[in-house]
Amino acid sequence: MKELDPTDPIGQNIIKLISNVCFSVFVFSVLIFTVIAITYQPPDPWESSRALTKVFTETENATFQTDTSVLKTGEDIATAPVATPVGSVAPITESTIEKSEEELGKNVTLKSGCDDVSVVNCSDPRVLIAIQRFNLRTFKAISFLDYQSPVNGSKPDECDVAWRFRNKKEKSWRKYRDFRRFKIGFTDDCSYKVVRPGRWHSGINARRPRIRVNATRNGQRAKVVPAVRDDEINDTIPVLGSDSAFRKGKYLYYSRGGDYCKGMNHYIWSFLCALGEAQYLNRTFVMDLSVCLASTYTQSNKDEEGKDFRFYFDFEHLKEVSSIVEEGDFLKDWKKWDKSHKMKVPVRKVASHKVTPMQLKKDKSTIIWRQFDAPEPENYWYRVCEGPAAKFIERPWQALWKSKRLMNIVLEISGSMDWDFDAVHVVRGEKAQNKNLWPHLDDDTSPDAIVAKLQGTIAPWRNLYVATNEPFYNYFDKLRSHYKVHLLDDYKYLWGNTSEWYNETSVVNGGRPVDFDGYMRVEVDTEVLYRAKKRVETFYNLTTDCKDVSRQTHKRLKFCTMLECVVMPIIDLF
């Protein structure tokens, strides 16, 4: 076969054709890659625990950054409602009301007849049935669990009634309480009807007896306002009891590491890693209830130690679903045992996170003590769950719920708007000032821009809740010409020094008042935001800027889509 001569015109044409085809294939491949990169929209990492796990575990140098203006916990990211505990009451429905009517008898006439309609008999069971039907029609976002018998209001045609309920958007099984005053009238056939409902917590005659508890400390009565205790909250600290109970247990103890005084999202990620390892090892987790409040959320702009875990999270739920013991009591029992027994408690000290949970699975020591003395980021708790351990350790998100005391404030705010409101989430703060990372955010969240955006989304004069980290209260005044605007600071009385929250948290804090800090504001804002009928988000609706920007040390190519950032590595060709 004759060799191809490069000097031959035919050979030159063939070589040129091959090179053109190869170049075309290369250009086409680059084009496809670019289109995929631009159009790809990854899931919001806060939308599911699986996506959240993927986002954090892909970040190996501990420089992850998350949106601190929204704080989600187990009841928010659960994909399905948490199973209702055995013995809990099923929600009241139209069918249960019809059964109640059948029991009363369909043909029973009113005792007062049609002639006397000036006085309402609040003890008549049919008054309660009328109120139940009205509530089902009016408050469709609520699951009503049980009612108390109505009592007389302040006028002859008024009845006060209390009930327990759960918001349908909340995935936990926690119950809350409302009590309202209803104006009751009669229909043409002399049946009871609700003429007008009262506002949230207006039925004060139906309010349960206020159980007052005086806080004590070291045998002395604390000088605080007597607390009104929510008898459905039990966040007392569990104790081990006898020496034998302590010795029979198996414990996982984490010393403080570099996570202390970091942001709340960092704290949650690390704490759930530790709790997940304890569950994997089938051990009781030794828990430090002291939380360090990062400077981002303090009025002093400094880290503040000594905050109680129970201020922010539901400790009652945590101890029901997890085996935990408080660190202080644990250390006392440990010291007491070693002092009174010749044989010391067997302890396995683990100096590095590189010792995996799988290697500790068969360890028979009473205490496995993980120590985090290395420099950052090697001393972060969550490093234990990285690498191969990620396939074995599942973070128990369902164990961590927001504090019920804070949730009571959420329900007060939502109930004051009769559960009929829309919300806008406005992220400003440091992000709005950083023009390099978020060049349009400041302008896109200006009052005029927000008004223009909302007018095409939310009907005028609706209740509008603004969840924001903007510190200036009057910043949203222009919205008041179009909507009934509600801000968190409008409800300061719910955590003021005469509130139930203030009194209850003071008792938990040994009689000392507790500040309503930035973490708490974020938790309340987040939960009110979730309960809105329509929700407008900053990074999905108000601005085209990316929600989060990676801080990885290696080169990155960032494509901003309409909703999210797609961050991809650059291949260094030169």
Mean pLDDT over the full length of the chain: 82
Q: Is residue 218 part of a domain?
A: no
Q: What average pLDDT does this structure show over 404-414?
A: 94
Same domain, 196 and 277: no
Same domain, 308 and 378: yes
Q: How sure is the predictor about 548, in pLDDT bands with cuts at 50, 70 and 90?
A: low
Domain residues for the domain of 23 are 10-39
Q: Is residue 324 part of a domain?
A: yes
pTM listed for this prediction: 0.76
| Predicted pLDDT at 108 | 55
Q: Is residue 215 part of a domain?
A: no
Same domain, 414 and 477: yes
The CATH number covering residue 300 comes to 3.40.50
Dig out the tokens for 162 from the structure. 């209390």
| Predicted pLDDT at 540 | 86
Same domain, 421 and 521: yes
Selection from 9-13, 399-403, 563-567 with the highest mean pLDDT: 399-403
Is the pLDDT at 507 greater than 80? The verdict is yes
Q: Is residue 554 part of a domain?
A: yes
Total of domains in the chain: 4
| Predicted pLDDT at 58 | 44
Same domain, 410 and 322: no
Q: Where are the beta strands (DSSP E) in 295-420?
A: 304-308, 324-326, 347-350, 367-370
Same domain, 413 and 509: yes
Contact 233, 216 (CB under 8 A): no
Same domain, 119 and 196: yes
Same domain, 59 and 189: no
Q: What is the pLDDT of residues 438-455, one digit of tens each?
A: 999 999 999 999 999 999
Is the pLDDT at 294 greater than 90? The verdict is yes
| Predicted pLDDT at 170 | 78
Q: Is residue 353 part of a domain?
A: yes
Q: Where are the beta strands (DSSP E) in 309-433?
A: 324-326, 347-350, 367-370, 422-426
Residues comprising the chain, all counted: 574
- 482 burial type by CB count under 10 A (0-12 exposed, 13-18 middle, 19+ buried): middle
Is the pLDDT at 561 greater than 50? The verdict is no
Same domain, 319 and 356: yes
> What SS3 class is residue 227?
strand
The 10 Å Cβ neighbour count of residue 302 is 10
Which of these three, 156, 191, 206, is where a domain ends? 206
- Residues forming a β-bridge with 485: 464
Residue owning tokens 């294939």: 25
Contact 200, 180 (CB under 8 A): yes
Same domain, 172 and 255: no
Same domain, 431 and 549: yes
Same domain, 276 and 319: yes
The 10 Å Cβ neighbour count of residue 283 is 21
Which of these three, 181, 206, 231, is where a domain ends? 206
Q: What is the pLDDT of residues 160-199, one digit of tens each?
A: 999 999 888 777 778 888 999 999 999 888 889 999 999 8
Which of these three, 399, 428, 448, is where a domain ends? 399
Q: Is residue 540 part of a domain?
A: yes
- Measured CA to CA, the distance from residue 53 to residue 57 in angstroms comes to 6
Q: What is the pLDDT of residues 350-384, one digit of tens each?
A: 999 999 999 999 999 999 999 999 999 999 999 99
| Predicted pLDDT at 9 | 64
Give Cα 257 distance to the centre of its chain: 24
Q: Is residue 4 part of a domain?
A: no
| Predicted pLDDT at 75 | 75
| Predicted pLDDT at 44 | 37
CA neighbor of 439 nearest in space, from 298, 262, 560, 338 = 560
- Measured CA to CA, the distance from residue 323 to residue 191 in angstroms comes to 54
Q: Is residue 224 part of a domain?
A: no
Q: Which of 8-17, 298-307, 477-486 has the lowest average pLDDT?
A: 8-17
